[in-house]
Structure 1
Amino acid sequence: MKKSELLIRAAKILNSSLELDTLLRNMLDITTEYVEAEASSIILLDSKNKRLDFYISLGERASKLEKTYLELKKGVAGWVADSGEAVTVDDVSTDDRFYPVVDEASHFKTHSLLCVPLKRTGTVLGVVEALNKKGGGKFTPEDLEVMTALADQMAIALENAHLIAKAKRETLEKVTLFEVGKKLSMYLEMDEILEQIVDLLYRVVRYDAVGIYLINSETQEIENVVTRGMDPEMESKLHLKVGQGVVGWVAKTARSVLIADVASDERYIRLRPQTASEIAVPIKSGEETVGVFNLESDQKNAYDENSRELVEAFASQAAVTIERARLHEEALEKRRLEEELSIARQIQTTFLPKGDPQAKGFDIAGMNIPSSEVGGDFFDFIKIVENQLGVAIADVSGKGIPAALIMAAFRASLKAEILNNYAIRTIFQKVNRLLFESVEREMYVTAVYGVLDTKNRVLTFSNAGHNPPILRRSNGSIEYLSEGGVALGVLESSTYEERPLSLFSGDVLILYTDGVTEAFSPEGEEFGVDRLVEVIDQSYELSARDLLNEMYEKVRDFTSDSAKLDDLTMVALKVLP
């Protein structure tokens, strides 16, 4: 067949398909047939890894060549790729350029070869090799001329195949990213979203292991929220701070990183022995880095700039979804807290007396200003018998529904024991044991309970670890009522003492919770007991209700009404003339 006819026929075959795999097989068939070779190989230049890959080959045992590669200047093929010149070798055993490793790997014995570069616009794309002329002959100058002409056609077809593959890949990537965006918009729950992200990410860039790591803004720790392909036992041992490891470095710098060989990067923390290369990109919400995508491959140089751009584009879409999920979670948490606070306020409100008590010879008032969080403050006036009034103030450690429920238990048990007509010290002992048996160890109640004998003007009280009530005598002297015992619910067998206190005309007694004295100014200064005593000294002549209002105004002014206040609970008892 004439050379022109061969080339026309070859052109038809080469243009019949520009799918890369099919094209390469057609190129090999043409090479083997046209120069009557025993085997042939297409060796493509991998510029990223700077090597020649035996992409595909035909001939005896040639399938074993598929994963063999050469450095650019190794072997005859390496020399041709480097020089860009064709070469014919009649006896490879006499040519120093011959590299026998490929033969050893394939168990194929090469005697002679014809090697021609695949060049396009001066750039070497690869090499085509014909191995061993059938019948034991030599490759002729005519074979070299035919192969050189065929190589030109092959290079054009190969370049077109690469362009088409690139265009298809880019189209597929855009379509995939668009579909990813649509699919991610369907979810609001964080766990579901992260699982979907891991699945969809694989459609964009292949990986052998992947992790989505979110940054805890409070602790600056990196939390591995969702992973695939990782050893769970190793993950549980990993506690990264921002700046540690590859993921921590990306979280700190907000910059992507490509690692061709993790063994050569000191930042890599070896969780997977088989990991060879890695890509990590930040997940950013506005200017804030909220997390990191980390992809790992078992092959070196698995990722390139195109991979980075794709994962970054994916991360941008995922960031919007993650932020939306976070806002959704925050909204749900806020709603849950609001519902909890509403319930807690309702519980707390039912504890408080409906009005101030009427006691002959005394002016008594109570006040509770709940905080935004709702604590466990409580006060009550309890009618016992004629001329006897119970006065109680208490504070539960903690906030919200748990504190409100414990206060409910305390109030119920306190009233039950009061109705049994026990002594105050016995009442506290029984209430203490009940709380110790029924609440968590970190929860407890501080309280003051006293019985006011309005006829004899005597207050008998006990203080269970509470802020000591302040008694201002009519002569201006100050006493603190601290007798009693430890907070309720702390120790199983706590005992309490009680003290009778005689009251006289002009005396003022203030009971309060720590929200009053522990209120802070914008500068961080505590209101304190001394300021409270000063307010009492300045305002003792006011009615009990007005005195409480004055104390509240002074605390609010001290905090500039800007700091978040704890519950403010106060009781004022004035002895009238």
Structure 2
Amino acid sequence: MSTTATPATQTAEALLSRPEDPLAFVRTVISEKLAQRSSGESYNPDHAMAYIKQCYAEASASADENGRLCLRPKRDTNATPSGDLASNKRLVLLEKLIQAFRVITMQLDPMEATNSIIKHTCKILNAERATLFKMDPVTQMLHLNVAEGASEISVPFGKGICGVVAATGKLVNIANAYADPNFDSQYDMQTGYHTRSILCVPVRNGQGQVVGVMQALNRSGNEKDTGFTDMDEEVMTILAAQAGIAIQNAQNHKTALQAQKKVTEVLDIVKAMHSDLGINSLIFTVTHRIQRLVGSDRCSLYLLDKVTNELWTLQGEVDIRIPSNQGICGAVAESGKLINLKNAYEDARFNKEYDQKLGYKTSTILALPLHSHKQDVIGVMQLINKTDGIFTPDDEEILTTFLSIAGPILENSPLFLRAKGTGGENELTGRPVSHGKPVTFDPEMNQIQESDGAEDEE
């Protein structure tokens, strides 16, 4: 049962509350009581008396230890219909967000979940377009991961609206894109699109690191050129948090699949090494399949001859021997520890002459020791130029695991006997292979050139 304000009830509450503005107070009380009345409920005179009793009962219950009555809690006298409308809008947005999250969480595929986030961003914010950029920490570029109404695009870190948001980690809300100095209008000119308003927020992973940027373009509402609101910023930030989870899940999913594939490939290589392969075939099988496994431009396998202090490998019909204390491979052979270079030219042990002679550019190098069953260094494996960035800790781990298995196998193979200089025949020609044939050789690149006047052994 609700009550209705009458002069008597208003007087009773006014006496208790002692308002500064009695007329405004009465208006507020009447509005409250009308709002409390159930739909279709008619006025009943008994309500007034019940309300008076309620007022005095509440006042008595709120009296302090000295018997002083506590004033009626102050209500927002500035409440307006527009304020109620804003509250209703927030409720509607909240409902839309809840519905969106239900759809997003049902997506088992991380990429599908990301697509769903972008679509709901456009729908909830009334945006013409939305995009999600994923940051590549190696290249320092933002690459378009998912887009609604946009084509392929990449943005340098720290450049443009998205680049600045990625660099600063701060939200940007722009009502007039062309008035902002960071806005790059080149994309508009190329596509014929006209960007008006932009809302751009950072996307973070579970550790709080910025892993991407989410952007909404051109909010459209009752007024075509209205910009994004404070409420839109809140919604976008919530959606960006979901996008961060989706990006992390996608990366975890990709990493798990890659790890499974690599383990299978390693087992296949080990199985092939146990088969009856000749020397050339063994080297070719190991280096080419490892090159494909890790994703590098080149791969070389050297065995250590401790008698001559040389690293040895075979290329075609030629035995290649280099001093075991030179270059990156020599450093690994001496220390027994892997070397992972993000920039080969910054390491003094790297010989740049071969790059200059051959017109090649060595950027990244990963070189690892090969151990015997007694953990003695018996060789070195070297990979050059990762095809998609730098050699990662995952690359180091998978290759270290492989070489720990391959070492004892190679130690007992004909290949290791050849490394010791015990002789043998080339499987392709049936001829003894020259161990002292004059060649110029790039140990970093696995490239050889026969010297002038070199004679083939018959």
TM-score (norm: length of structure 2): 0.59
Equivalent AA in structure 1 for residue 287 of structure 2: V
Match in the other structure for 1:255: 337
Q: Mean alpha-carbon deviation: is it higher for 30-39 or for 247-256?
A: 30-39
Equivalent AA in structure 2 for residue 133 of structure 1: R
Task: Give the match's secondary structure for 2:366.
Answer: strand
Matches within 5 A, 1:168-567: 168-187=257-276, 189-202=278-291, 204-225=293-314, 240-269=322-351, 270=355, 273-285=360-372, 286-297=374-385, 299=387, 301-326=389-414
Cα distance between partner residues in 2 of 1:328 and 1:259: 28
Cα distance between partner residues in 2 of 1:39 and 1:291: 56
Name the CA shift for 1:132/1:250 in 2 (closer, same or farther; >3 Å).
farther
Higher gyration radius (CA): 1
Contact 1:221/1:239 (<8 A) preserved? yes
Equivalent AA in structure 1 for residue 311 of structure 2: I
Matches within 5 A, 1:34-113: 34-47=124-137, 49=138, 51-58=140-147, 62-63=151-152, 65=153, 68-71=154-157, 73-98=158-183, 110-113=195-198
In structure 1, which of residues 131, 134, 137 is the aligned counterpart of residue 217 of structure 2? 131
Equivalent AA in structure 2 for residue 145 of structure 1: E
Cα distance between partner residues in 1 of 2:94 and 2:177: 31
Name the CA shift for 1:167/1:212 in 2 (closer, same or farther; >3 Å).
same
**1:140 equivalent in alignment to 2:229:** yes
Equivalent AA in structure 1 for residue 414 of structure 2: R
Equivalent AA in structure 1 for residue 174 of structure 2: V
1:100-158 Cα shifts (integer Å, max 9, x gaps): 67778988664431111223353333221123335554223333222122122222333
Cα distance between partner residues in 2 of 1:101 and 1:218: 64
Name the CA shift for 1:207/1:86 in 2 (closer, same or farther; >3 Å).
same
Q: CA shift at 1:200, angstroms?
A: 3.1
Cα distance between partner residues in 2 of 1:251 and 1:216: 11
How many residues of Structure 1 are paired with residues of Structure 2 in the alignment? Answer: 323
Contact 1:40/1:128 (<8 A) preserved? yes
TM-score (norm: length of structure 1): 0.48
Contact 1:189/1:329 (<8 A) preserved? no
Contact 1:258/1:278 (<8 A) preserved? yes
1:177-232 Cα shifts (integer Å, max 9, x gaps): 334333322345333322221243245311122222233334333334369xxxx9
Contact 2:139/2:389 (<8 A) preserved? no
Equivalent AA in structure 1 for residue 231 of structure 2: E
1:15-36 Cα shifts (integer Å, max 9, x gaps): 3445454444333333344334
Cα distance between partner residues in 2 of 1:274 and 1:180: 29
Equivalent AA in structure 2 for residue 243 of structure 1: N
Name the CA shift for 1:55/1:313 in 2 (closer, same or farther; >3 Å).
farther
1:521-554 Cα shifts (integer Å, max 9, x gaps): xxxxxxxxxxxxxxxxxxxxxxxxxxxxxxxxxx
Cα distance between partner residues in 2 of 1:305 and 1:158: 20
1:365-398 Cα shifts (integer Å, max 9, x gaps): xxxxxxxxxxxxxxxxxxxxxxxxxxxxxxxxxx
Contact 1:188/1:324 (<8 A) preserved? no
Match in the other structure for 2:52: none
In structure 1, which of residues 117, 121, 135 is the aligned counterpart of residue 202 of structure 2? 117
Equivalent AA in structure 1 for residue 233 of structure 2: L
Task: Give the match's secondary structure for 1:268.
Answer: coil
Name the CA shift for 1:184/1:303 in 2 (closer, same or farther; >3 Å).
same
Contact 1:254/1:289 (<8 A) preserved? yes
Task: Give the match's secondary structure for 1:53.
Answer: strand
Task: Give the match's secondary structure for 1:273.
Answer: coil
Name the CA shift for 1:131/1:298 in 2 (closer, same or farther; >3 Å).
farther
Structure 2 residue ranges without an equivalent (≥5): 1-88, 426-458
Equivalent AA in structure 2 for residue 292 of structure 1: V
**1:27 equivalent in alignment to 2:117:** yes
Cα distance between partner residues in 2 of 1:198 and 1:18: 37
Structure holding more strand per residue: 1
Contact 2:142/2:163 (<8 A) preserved? no
Q: CA shift at 1:313, angstroms?
A: 1.4
Task: Give the match's secondary structure for 1:7.
Answer: helix
Match in the other structure for 1:6: 96
Equivalent AA in structure 2 for residue 326 of structure 1: P
1:221-258 Cα shifts (integer Å, max 9, x gaps): 3334369xxxx9xxx99964223222232223222111
Task: Give the match's secondary structure for 1:208.
Answer: strand
Q: CA shift at 1:303, angstroms?
A: 1.2
Name the CA shift for 1:205/1:74 in 2 (closer, same or farther; >3 Å).
same
Match in the other structure for 1:473: none
Equivalent AA in structure 1 for residue 334 of structure 2: K
Percent identity over the alignment is 24
Equivalent AA in structure 1 for residue 310 of structure 2: E
Cα distance between partner residues in 1 of 2:281 and 2:227: 66
Contact 1:44/1:125 (<8 A) preserved? yes
Contact 1:43/1:55 (<8 A) preserved? yes
Cα distance between partner residues in 1 of 2:296 and 2:199: 39
Contact 2:110/2:246 (<8 A) preserved? no
Name the CA shift for 1:327/1:213 in 2 (closer, same or farther; >3 Å).
closer
Equivalent AA in structure 2 for residue 14 of structure 1: I
Cα distance between partner residues in 2 of 1:92 and 1:237: 65
Structure 1 residue ranges without an equivalent (≥5): 338-577
